[in-house]
Homo-oligomer: A and B are copies of this chain.
Amino acid sequence: MSGPNTPIRNDCDECALASRCFPAFISVEKRFRVTQIITTNLTYDKTALLYRQGEKAKHIYIIKFGSFKTYISNPNGTEYINGFYMTGDIINMESVDQGIHLNSASALENSMVCKVSFLRLTILKDEFPTLANMAIKVYSQALALSQDLLKCISKQSATSRLATFLLIINRRQNIQNQDPDKIYLSMSRQDIANYLGLAIETLSRVFTRLNESGCIIKHNRHSDLSIHDRDLLQRYASGVEN
């Protein structure tokens, strides 16, 4: 189908994320090689499993749109939420070393991902040294974020935890959002509570309090919020206000 003069169709050229994804780290003339690295546009319905804890890990996943949670299932049926991932995030970077999925990942809404095999990445890293730079950069970011979260979750009061969580979600959604104060929560209250180390009832009460203080506005859906008084929210997050 594709001869020497036929332009190779490259999904990445049209991707909104291209400027901060793998193509950005590969020279223009060799950009066509991207298609040989990346399997693009895989769709996952809400609740669909991306991978399961304990399975062999062979790929990293870049979220094109949508969101995922990673979690560890406990024997007693409860879930420990490990992280939330949204547009532009890379899932599964922590498994590259051991080659085994340390947690399970499932879609929080209908989502699309592109995947890259560890193996291809290793091989092509020699051809494209800048890919290695990208990897290190991305890992460094991920580590910094992870430490940020650790800080948020240990130590702080329930109010401070939720306020920090909302600010982090908002900051990350702002990259593609038009209204800078809108927050969309694709995960359930239970997931958030779990993630922040709180009981669901406590979380619900804090949501109510943040709403009553005029800090955030809840819209008809549970998942839609707006930040109304960002300054106050930040004071809650830092623990100055209670």
Contacts and interface: CB of A to CB of B under 8 A. Distances in A.
B143 A142 contact: yes
Contacts of A125: 129, 132-133
A180 B97 CA distance: 25
A234 interface: no
7 contacts: A82-B150, A93-B143, A96-B136, A102-B144, A136-B139, A146-B147, A153-B197
A140 B96 contact: yes
Interface of A: 72, 80, 82-83, 93-98, 102-103, 122, 125-126, 129, 132-133, 135-144, 146-147, 149-151, 153-155, 194-197
A72 B122 CA distance: 36
A25 B75 CA distance: 40
A126 B194 CA distance: 43
A97 B146 CA distance: 14
Contacts of A140: 93-98, 139
